[in-house]
Amino acid sequence: RYYEREGLIQPSRSAGRIRLYSMRDIEKLQRVKTLMDELGVNLAGVEIILNLMGRLAEMDKQIKEMAEQIGQLRGEEA
């Protein structure tokens, strides 16, 4: 609940308002725990790290899409 209040996770809710955690939520909570317990990162640092990890994942996706487009263009030139 604490991480939910801090905005790190947003579980879905059942009709009876029970929190439903996805595998993605659980993996994120495991990363938070590792960063805080094993690496000594505070909650503000965890939030920054998670945001940067999200941005890196998005950039990686864009790079792969661009590489695919380049490959297609090279295939058309041959």
Nearest CA among 32, 30, 31 for reference residue 43: 32
Q: How many residues does the chain have?
A: 78
In sequence order, the β-bridge partners of residue 12 are 20
CA gap 71, 78 in Å, rounded:
11
Q: Identify each DSSP E strand in 5-74 by its residue range.
A: 12-13, 19-20
How far is 77 from 72, CA to CA, in rounded Å?
A: 9
- pLDDT tens for each residue of 22-75: 999 999 999 999 999 999 999 999 999 999 999 999 999 999 999 999 999 998
For residue 17 the two structure tokens come to 């308002």
| DSSP reduced 3-state for 5 | helix
Q: Residue 9: pLDDT band by 50, 70, 90 thresholds?
A: confident
